[in-house]
Amino acid sequence: MEDLIKFVQDEYVTENSKEFPDFGAGDTITVYYEISEGEKTRTQFFRGVVIQLRGSGSTKTFTIRKMSGTVGVERIFPINLPALQKIEINKKGKVRRSRIYYFRGLTGKKARIKEVRK
């Protein structure tokens, strides 16, 4: 079964030729992506903290969380999404886990992630 899945991925899923920087959980990044509204296309960005990286190769995805007012908004991006234009790393964060689900429950000063200075 895994051979069949790998064959289909190799045949039909095209690899994204764009190079994105290396980032991990705890990093604050900005993702620029295209949105098409009717016949017009525009670029929109989503800035937030990376909660997790999941998968490998062409099925790799990452989840970003941001606060919109008092409501937390999460969005999952596939790394090979054709609409992705670029990814900027705003801050490198220092966390001890690769998936920081506990970040959802934190508010106020507890929701800060220590920054790694270069």
pLDDT tens digit sequence for 34-69: 999 999 999 999 999 999 999 988 789 999 999 998
Arch. (CATH architecture) of 2-105:
Roll (2.30)
Indicate the pTM of the whole model: 0.82
32: left (phi over 0), alpha (psi -120 to 50) or beta: beta
Domain boundaries, the chain: 2-105
Q: What mean pLDDT comes out for the span 98-110?
A: 91
Q: What mean pLDDT comes out for the span 95-108?
A: 92
Task: Indicate the range of 10-14, 24-28, 103-107, 112-116 predicted with least confidence.
Answer: 10-14
d(CA 16, CA 118): 29
Q: What mean pLDDT comes out for the span 87-108?
A: 93
pLDDT given for residue 58 in this prediction: 79
Q: Is the dihedral angle over the CA atoms 33, 35, 36, 41 positive or is it negative?
A: negative
CA angle 116/16/23 to nearest 5° reads 10
